Amino acid sequence: MQQVKSEDTTPEKVVRSYLHKQGFRYRLHVKSLPGKPDIVLPRYRTIIDVRGCFWHQHVSPTCTRNKSPKAHSGYWSEKFRKNVERDKQHERDWRSLGWKVIVVWECEASSEATLRKIVRRLKAQKKKLQ
């Protein structure tokens, strides 16, 4: 599992590339925030957390990437439970610090509609801040 990347994953790069093409500027993996969030847009007080469907157990009827391994099921269920709980805690921490949080799942990251939706939310957020 040491070879599993936690930063600069393909879905994360897709989201970052789209945001950059739309003119958004951001910071990556900000160490001063809990959990070092993937994408931080300080101007919009928004964090975009890109989650892998397998590791973070995306619960969706359309997602096929969240299947648990059959072998060592006790180990995996505990591992996934801790990941999900850590995600919830980070979201609570970010919100308590005044940040808006957008979660993008791996299976959604390549969807043009999802990426456009994120941009619309950011633009709406900018209008509120002005």
pLDDT digits (tens, 9 = 90+) for 97-129: 999 999 999 999 988 999 999 998 888 877 776
Provide the H-helix boundaries in the chain.
10-21, 73-96, 112-129
The predicted pLDDT at position 23 comes to 93
Which uninterrupted H or E stretch holds 50?
strand 46-51
Residue 30 DSSP class: -
53 and 103 Cβ atoms separated by less than 8 Å: no
Q: Report how far residue 88's alpha carbon sits from residue 98's, in angstroms, rounded to the nearest whole number.
A: 16
- 7-17 per-position pLDDT tens digit: 788 999 999 99
What would the pLDDT profile of 3-49 be if each residue is shown by its tens digit? 556 678 899 999 999 999 999 999 999 999 999 999 999 999 999 99
Contact 109, 15 (CB under 8 A): yes
All domains of the chain in start order, with CATH: 10-129 (3.40.960.10)
Which residues, in sequence order, are CB contacts of 42 under 8 Å at separation 6+?
26, 27
Query: What SS3 state is found at 54?
Result: coil
